[in-house]
Each structure stands twice: as C-alpha cells, then as structure tokens.
C-alpha cells in the first residue's frame, strides 16, 4: 500500500500533524533493517509526492526584491553554458542565460520558447528545423548588444571544441548535416576557433536553420532546450575559445534576467570555484511577455562547500531566505521538515532519474537470460529502495521511463509491463528457482565456477548499503560474490563504464534524463550500438538487434504520440531482457526556509530561482 493510498483523499480534513506522523511511520519502516520486508505495508507504488507537492507557480502578488541563498555541497560541473550537463548547473544557467527554448516550471512534455519567438518549425520532410529568434534580447555588459541568430550558431559550433567539453551535442545532433566534418576540424585544430557546421546556418539576424540528414528533429530540438543553445557573441568569445580549455565560462556574457557579477572587462568576480556564485540582476534584461521568467529576487548567492548535508539542511529549514541546491535532502532533514516544518518547506518532485543494478549480459552466467530473470525475480526491490531512504525517495521502478515522463503510461505506468519476474517488488524466490532450473541448474541454485562473480560498487553509503543488499540477494541464489569497493567515480571510469574491465554486476548505476523524451533515457543506456570502449553507459552491455533497430526507428518518429508509444514499446522490449534489477525512480526532496516562496522547476526537479520569491 502506498503512502497516498494509506491516507487517501481524506487527508485534507485531518490535522497536519497526522500527515507528519504518517511520514515518520513511513520513514521508520523504510529506514529499518534492510534484510526485512515491509510486511506488506508497501507495494512499491507511488510516493507521498502529493503530500508535499511541488509548487510550479509563484504566489499571487509575489514580492519583488530580496536576496536568496542557495546552500550547496559542491560546485557546478562547468560555469560555461556550452559545457554544462548537470542539474545544479542548469539551476544557474536557467536564470542567467536564454536558450532557444527553455523549461518553465510546469513544463513536462514540451519546452516553452525563450530566445526563440515560438516553437521551432519542422519542414514537412522532417529534415529542416527553423527557429525565429527574438530581436529584443540583449547581452549583459560588457557586450551590450542585441542577440542575433549567428550567436546561437556559434554557441552550438563551439560546443564541439575539445576545450568546451560538451557531453551531449555530438550524441543528439549526430544527424545535423556536416557535423562529422566539424568534429574532425575541431579535433585537428582545438585552438583554431569554433568549426563550421555546414548544416547550421543563420540566414539572417533572426532566423536559424538546421538541416538534418535524417528525421531526428525531436532529439535535436530536445538537446537545444539545454544551455548549449544559449547565445555566445563570437567577436567577444573567440579569444577565450582559442584557449584549451576555453576560458569563456569565466568571462561569459549573459542573456537571462540575472548575471554572475563581473568586472568592466567581463571577467566573473562573482564566481569562486567550489565556494560561491553570486548572481545580480542583468541590467540589460527587461521583463517581457516573450520571456516567461518573472525574476522576483534582486540577488542570489550560491554558497558551496556544505559537505555535511544534515547540518546544511537544518540550516535551510531553521534559517531565513535559503533553499537547498545540489544535494539530496537526507532522511533526517526530510523528517524534520515533515514534522516540525511549516507547510511548503518540503517538496517532492520526480527527478526523471532511475537507479538499477546492472547485470553484465556479455559475461557468464548473465549471458543466459534465464539466470538474469531468476536474479530479477529473486530481488527484493523494496529492500533495495530502503537503502536509499525508503518510500519518500521515490516509487519502486518497474520499467525505464519514469513517472510524469512521455511514454511512461505507454510502457505500463506504475505497475510496469506484464512480466512475472517483475510482478512482486518484494521478490519471488520460488519463481527465481524455477528460472534457475530453466537455466540448467537443477537445484534452483547457481552452481559451478561461473557462479563466482565480481561486483564493483561504492565504498560509502548509501551506495555501499545497496551493494551489500544486492550481494546478499545474489548469495541467496547460490552466487559467490566478490564485492570490490571503490569510489563512485572510479567505479564508473575504471570498471563499469569500461567494457573490458566491467564486472558481472554493477550495483550502483543510474541515469537521469537529458530532456523529456524517451531517447534521452533509452538510447545511450540500452542501445547495443552505443556500447563503447570507455565512458560506456550501456552498463548491461545489452546488444539485441531487434531492440537496437526499434530504438533507431523511434528516434526518427516526429509525431509525439507515435513517438511516445514507440519508446514505451522499446521500454517493454528491454525489460523483457531482464538485463538489470530496477529499484527506484528517484524523487527529489527539496527544502526551503519558511519565508521563501519557492517554485520548483519540474524539468530540473529543483528550485527555479527565476520564479522563486521571498514572502512578505
């Protein structure tokens, strides 16, 4: 039974402390010993998101002015919008830059035009995308001029430079005409300026045309909703981009309502890596109907370095004018917010992320689908979720595409596809034994040298806790598990993401959407054509030709309904391979001080500082 189902619609008539009590009970249950089930109290369904809803609009008469402090544990990945590829970084750039289209707080399926006047037009043959750029957007000082379409072209082209380590352009813009030549040009001459992508042309100051070699416009449009399409003035940036790595990020020009404080030359004085990002109003930005951001606050300071997230959360909850930044609120703080906090101090939002235990389909014994099905059937996924904090951290995952995401319902909704080994989130040992027998293990237990397996996982909780539970569940099926503990980054860059070194089991992998389209959840992670020698994200190394073909076809569908159905179908095909143990669709718990009227951006699952205000 889920938290929502436990309380039902009558909750609104009950005193608030009853809701809080419910949260404590849920926490107590979910934080209890991992080896025990929840005695039927939890079918792994939806969470208490509706108890702690995410506000997606500012209150009536929201107050103008004031300073907000964002408390963070670490820094942005990059300050350069061309390279940013991280939720926390988007929190900054969504307020300081204007990409072609952006994600308004309640946008779930499609982004809203921002720098573009309207949604992009796709030609009938699906091979040309045209953006019309607004002519009233100005750069911050010292650039002080209007944005033109050529600036967006330059922004995209510079993202191919090795000195601007963009992690997604080449993936999603792979079908843009001329991109391969441009990539080669950039790599041959990394400090020779941004390469020309022949398929991207600014035909005049307000028109940007993108020509494709295939009908993959939705993926391209999705990628261009990210900060890479924020305009960059070439005449100003080229000197910085001639360095490798580029230093444009530390000298960038802004087009959003806020800017990072800078000096007369444009050098950022308001950014100290790992310490602070100080935003002030951009004097050249004017509110208009074309820009959906109201920008209530006068200043925003991102204070970084709060490694102890328990203290940091307490500081936010007890303090004034503060919100959490990059860290997930720890269970103790969630409890405090739920029980002692004022209404609205805690919000829960689906993050569009998933966590799973990867089974290496290229190595025995997991090259046998029946062994994999046995492992998935035996897994108590509720226990695995408990290691991350329990019910409040999100529903138990039953397939790939997460809640509130296009294709989620098509893939089976919360219950997931009709597969017996996924039917019981608390595990089905008998079914597991049956599958082991089908795999040739008469005893129903894994036997022989192939059953001595290696697992490489995190060396610290909560990942290490998850790995311990995975190991014990595998041992129940007769496996002998050699659990190698390493840091999270080492786990990826030396083992799980390097197929030659990949162990049989990677218990701590996960994926977060790039944008709201099935391609960003499925293509890199489960397409056999994307298994690469390093930085591989298809951790199970799943390589099934039918699935690869289906992914290839889904990417080219430009009708949204058809596309969502196609991705839902691909999702089911992948789940039929039992290549991993799915255990959680992450929900992001965000907290704010009592005097903050925070607005959550659903796309980013974090506070939208361009909509957040202080209470009067």
For residue 78, give the nearest of 66, 65, 64, 93 by alpha carbon: 93
Please select the residue that binds other proteins; options are 56, 166, 216, 588, rule is CB under 8 A: 166
Please select the residue that binds other proteins; options are 128, 201, 303, 577, rule is CB under 8 A: 303
Whole-angstrom distance, CA of residue 109 vs CA of residue 352: 12
Please select the residue that binds other proteins; options are 81, 120, 193, 249, rule is CB under 8 A: 249
Please select the residue that binds other proteins; options are 532, 553, 562, 616, rule is CB under 8 A: 532
Please select the residue that binds other proteins; options are 119, 438, 494, 543, rule is CB under 8 A: 494
Please select the residue that binds other proteins; options are 187, 269, 443, 616, rule is CB under 8 A: 187
Whole-angstrom distance, CA of residue 585 vs CA of residue 399: 9
Q: Does 306 bind other proteins (CB under 8 A)?
A: yes
Please select the residue that binds other proteins; options are 314, 573, 576, 595, rule is CB under 8 A: 314
Please select the residue that binds other proteins; options are 312, 477, 551, 610, rule is CB under 8 A: 312
DSSP structure string for 90-145:
HHHHHHH---SEE--TT-SSS-EESSBSSSPEE-TTS-EEEEEB-S--BPPTTT-S
Whole-angstrom distance, CA of residue 423 vs CA of residue 43: 10
Please select the residue that binds other proteins; options are 7, 206, 493, 577, rule is CB under 8 A: 493
Complex with other proteins: residue 46 or 262, whichever CB lies closer: 262
DSSP category for residue 495 = I
Angle subtended at Cα 195 by Cα 193 and Cα 200, rounded to the nearest 5 degrees: 135
Q: Does 604 bind other proteins (CB under 8 A)?
A: no
User: 609: Cβ–Cβ under 8 A, 6 or more apart, which residues?
Assistant: 68, 70, 91, 94, 95, 258, 279, 297, 300
* Whether the bond into 286 is cis, omega within 30 of 0: no
Please select the residue that binds other proteins; options are 111, 190, 256, 402, rule is CB under 8 A: 190
Q: Does 47 bind other proteins (CB under 8 A)?
A: no
**Helix, strand or coil, per DSSP, at residue 275:** coil
Complex with other proteins: residue 288 or 487, whichever CB lies closer: 487
Q: Does 535 bind other proteins (CB under 8 A)?
A: yes
Complex with other proteins: residue 47 or 322, whichever CB lies closer: 322
What string marks each residue from 217 to 246 as x (binds other proteins by CB under 8 A) or -? ---------------------------xx-
Q: Can you read off the two tokens belonging to residue 395?
A: 């529903």
Shortest Cβ 190–other proteins spacing (Å): 6
Shortest Cβ 314–other proteins spacing (Å): 4
Please report, for residues 87, 224, 302, 518, 572, the alpha-carbon distance to residue 218 in angstroms, rounded to integers and kept in the order given.
Answer: 21, 10, 33, 10, 21
Whole-angstrom distance, CA of residue 427 vs CA of residue 376: 8
Q: Encode burial over 251-268: b for 16+ CB neighbours within 10 A, e otherwise.
A: bbbbbbbbbbebeeebeb
Q: Which segment (97-105, 297-305, 388-396, 402-410) binds other proteins by CB under 8 A?
A: 297-305
Q: Does 341 bind other proteins (CB under 8 A)?
A: no
Q: Can you read off the two tokens belonging to residue 454?
A: 């290696």
Query: Applying CB under 8 A, what is the total number of residues that bind other proteins?
Result: 57
Q: Does 216 bind other proteins (CB under 8 A)?
A: no
Please select the residue that binds other proteins; options are 69, 94, 324, 386, rule is CB under 8 A: 69
Please select the residue that binds other proteins; options are 240, 296, 492, 580, rule is CB under 8 A: 492
Q: Which segment (95-103, 158-166, 445-453, 582-590) binds other proteins by CB under 8 A?
A: 158-166
Q: Encode burial over 528-561: b for 16+ CB neighbours within 10 A, e otherwise.
A: eebbeeeebbbbbbbbbeebbebbeebbbbeeee
Please select the residue that binds other proteins; options are 37, 319, 413, 552, rule is CB under 8 A: 319
Complex with other proteins: residue 45 or 510, whichever CB lies closer: 510
For residue 528, give the nearest of 501, 557, 498, 550 by alpha carbon: 550
Whole-angstrom distance, CA of residue 259 vs CA of residue 106: 24
Q: Does 340 bind other proteins (CB under 8 A)?
A: no
**Helix, strand or coil, per DSSP, at residue 600:** strand
Give contact residues for other proteins (rule: CB under 8 A). 69, 71, 74-75, 77, 79, 83, 85, 162-163, 165-168, 170-171, 183, 186-187, 190, 244-245, 247, 249-250, 272-276, 301, 303, 305-308, 311-312, 314-315, 318-319, 486-487, 489-490, 492-494, 497, 514, 524, 532-535, 537
């Amino acid at each position: 039974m889920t938290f929502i189902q436990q309380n039902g619609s009558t909750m609104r008539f009950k005193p608030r402390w009853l809701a809080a009590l419910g949260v404590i009970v849920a926490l107590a249950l979910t934080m209890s010993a991992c080896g025990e089930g929840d005695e039927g109290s939890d079918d792994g369904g939806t969470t208490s998101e509706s108890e702690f809803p995410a506000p997606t609009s500012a209150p009536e008469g929201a107050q103008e002015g004031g300073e907000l402090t964002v408390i963070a544990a670490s820094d942005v990945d990059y300050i350069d919008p061309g390279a940013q590829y991280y939720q926390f970084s988007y929190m900054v750039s969504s307020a300081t830059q204007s990409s072609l289209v952006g994600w308004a707080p309640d946008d779930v399926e499609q982004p809203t035009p921002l720098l573009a006047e309207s949604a992009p037009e796709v030609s009938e043959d699906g091979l040309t995308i045209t953006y019309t750029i607004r002519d009233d957007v100005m750069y911050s000082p010292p650039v002080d001029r209007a944005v033109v379409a050529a600036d967006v072209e330059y922004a995209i082209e510079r993202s191919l430079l090795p000195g601007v380590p963009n992690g997604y352009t080449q993936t999603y813009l792979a079908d843009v005409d001329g991109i391969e030549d441009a990539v080669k040009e950039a790599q041959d001459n990394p400090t020779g300026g941004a390469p020309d992508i022949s398929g991207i042309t600014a035909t005049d100051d307000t028109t940007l045309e993108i020509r494709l070699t295939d009908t993959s416009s939705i993926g391209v449009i999705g990628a261009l909703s990210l900060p890479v399409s924020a305009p960059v003035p070439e005449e100003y940036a080229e000197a910085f981009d001639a360095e490798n790595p580029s230093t444009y990020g530390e000298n960038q020009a802004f087009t959003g309502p806020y800017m990072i404080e800078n000096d007369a030359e444009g050098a950022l004085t308001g950014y100290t890596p790992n310490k602070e990002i100080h935003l002030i109003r951009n004097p050249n930005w004017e509110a208009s109907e074309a820009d959906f951001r109201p920008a209530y606050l006068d200043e925003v300071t991102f204070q970084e370095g709060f490694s102890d997230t328990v203290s940091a959360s307490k500081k936010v909850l007890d303090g004034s004018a503060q919100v959490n930044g990059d860290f997930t609120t720890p269970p103790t703080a969630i409890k405090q917010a739920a029980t002692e906090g004022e209404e609205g101090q805690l919000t829960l939002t689906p993050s569009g992320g998933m966590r799973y235990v990867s089974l290496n389909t290229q190595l025995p014994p997991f090259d046998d689908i029946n062994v994999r099905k046995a492992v998935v059937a035996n897994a108590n996924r509720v226990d695995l979720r408990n290691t991350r904090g329990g019910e409040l951290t999100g529903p138990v995952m039953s397939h790939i595409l997460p809640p509130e995401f296009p294709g989620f319902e098509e893939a089976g909704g919360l219950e997931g596809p009709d597969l017996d080994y996924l039917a019981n989130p608390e595990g089905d040992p008998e079914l597991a034994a049956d599958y082991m027998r089908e795999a040739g293990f008469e005893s129903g237990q894994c036997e022989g040298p192939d059953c001595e397996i290696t697992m490489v996982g995190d060396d610290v909780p909560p990942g290490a806790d998850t790995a311990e539970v995975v190991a014990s569940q595998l041992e129940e099926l007769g496996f002998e598990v050699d659990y190698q503990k390493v840091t999270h980054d080492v786990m990826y860059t030396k083992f799980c993401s390097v197929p030659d070194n990949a162990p049989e089991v990677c218990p701590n992998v996960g994926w977060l959407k790039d944008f709201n389209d099935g391609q960003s959840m499925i293509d890199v992670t489960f397409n056999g054509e994307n298994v690469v020698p390093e930085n591989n994200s298809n951790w199970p190394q799943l390589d099934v030709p039918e699935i690869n073909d289906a992914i290839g076809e889904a990417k080219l569908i430009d009708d949204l309904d058809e596309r969502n159905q196609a991705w839902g179908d691909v999702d089911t095909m992948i789940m039929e391979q039992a290549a991993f143990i799915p255990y959680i669709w992450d929900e992001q718990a965000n907290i704010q001080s009592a005097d903050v009227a925070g607005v959550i951006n659903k796309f980013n699952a974090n506070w939208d500082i361009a909509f957040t205000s202080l209470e009067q």
